[in-house]
Amino acid sequence: MFRKIPLAWLQVTREKTRLIVAIAGIAFADILMFVQIGFQEGLYASANGPHYSIKGDLVLVDAKYKTIFYMQSFSRNHLYQALAVKGVKSVDSLYIGSADWINPINRSSRAILVFGIDPTKPTLKFPEVNQNLDSLKQIDKVIFDRGSRPEYGPIAEYFEQGQPFEAEINDVRVKVSGLFTLGASFSAEGNLVASDLTFFRIFDRNSNDIEVGIITLQPNADLESIREQINSQLPDNVKALTIEEFAQIERDYWANSTGIGFIFTIGTIMGFIVGAVIVYQILYSDVSDHLPEYATLKAMGYKDSYLLGVLIQESLILSLLGYLPSSAIAWGLYELTRSATLLPIFMTLNRAILVLFLTILMCSISGAIAVRKLREADPADIF
């Protein structure tokens, strides 16, 4: 195989302009795939941030749960019923609601996701929240997500300078007493944590209706068995889920129940098709220009399989040459997008390998299609 590579390399590099055009086309297709896949994964990661921040083994939610931004509440009595199941150590309540945040600097209004917790227990995994639970015991004190959009106001800047920052949420005046990091998402551009009492004031509701019940099991307890027991003993309007199942429902919602996941998938497919067409055109032109040479090789005894190998190697060389600049450009675009949108979009090894595989597959398919032109290389036409 490696004895054929010099021929393929010479074929690819002979026409410098054609080579540059091919690299640019493949790089463009790769960047398109990188961006679409990166945005899609960033969407899922940001949407699942709250799910994986819950400190517990199981969660109890409404049976019709689809997304955390539009959760249905249920009676807290069901959570106490789950506590009676053998193997359950403790239960906690998590309140979630979307409120109207008023930026005191310019009086602009923006929706914000509010998490209400019991300030006497570490319900969430955020270290900065757990370190400031005492401050939440004071009414109308909240902990703000520094990863929220800047349109909510310069909260982080004020707080780090030691200046108090107050704002209105649903006509309730609150004071920021701490910061934590969760990050914006497609469904929530800002987040904050409040005590359950402050949450009740913001949303003017009682404590019996909760959005998420957090269930902690005894050490070495059989998680799956207890989950089934809870679901069998509780009414059908609620269901117990593992944290991963809880997050998966959210991912499925964005992937299947909204147009966002579909759009990103179509964008990736279109990038793949565009790249394949570009590589095909380059290889087809190359074969057409060198058809007499290929016919001469056939006359010398080389078989179509050898010529196919040369063409496939050309496509692989092009795929690698186009992939290298595209990965660097995509990394820069990820950094720029993360700074502009605060979405968790990062270049990962798995994604880099996936796009490399798609690039090689894209170019190989194009080479396999272009090889049909080689069959026209008839030695009889030369002599």
| Domain spans of the chain, in order of start | 2-46+258-381, 64-235
pLDDT of residue 378: 60
pLDDT of residue 142: 94
pLDDT of residue 375: 64
pTM greater than 0.85 (yes/no): no
pLDDT of residue 25: 86
Return averaged pLDDT per consecutive 10 residues of the chain, 383 residues in all.
60 80 88 89 86 94 90 92 92 94 88 93 92 92 90 85 86 91 82 94 89 93 92 93 94 81 83 84 76 73 74 84 92 87 83 91 82 64 54
Which residue has 């595209």 as its token pair? 326
State the Cα angle at 138 between 136 and 139, rounded to 5°.
100
pLDDT (tens digit per residue) in 157-213: 888 788 888 899 998 999 999 999 888 877 778 899 999 999 999 998 888 899 999
pLDDT of residue 4: 46
pLDDT of residue 382: 53
Q: What is the Cα–Cα distance from 112 to 109, expressed in whole angstroms?
A: 10
pLDDT of residue 187: 72
pLDDT of residue 191: 93
